[in-house]
A and B are shown apart, each in its own frame.
Chain A
């Protein structure tokens, strides 16, 4: 999954930023958002949770889900 995220982060760097957080070391934010498995994705917009999803998936599906939450049309 790591290469997929890296590719998406690079391709969509003008649209959104990817941020990663290690559940083993950063317990406070892991518990606060009730994370139960990895990978888990939470999409923030203007500091608020816009949506989220769980699980590893192919690149196209990952992009589709993120853009869907951000209500952005696929242009690339």
Chain B
């Protein structure tokens, strides 16, 4: 099943539940009408939260840049000895 179909099916199922709630009035109807709005707001909050948390915990590796510099120096020395032209840039 294509991903878009999966997502639409999920949406359809949620809509069906919502319509069910509207029909049976298990909770007051005025609340039920607001549920889609809550859904959209909570989806937005979820997105922002995930981006925020991801940004806060963004893994960085400054020490790797230093290691790489050392590796580059080592590699250049070796290659120069072997006659590979690494000096020009």
Q: Do A and B bind each other?
A: no
Chain A residues within 8 Å of B, Cβ to Cβ: none
Chain B residues within 8 Å of A, Cβ to Cβ: none
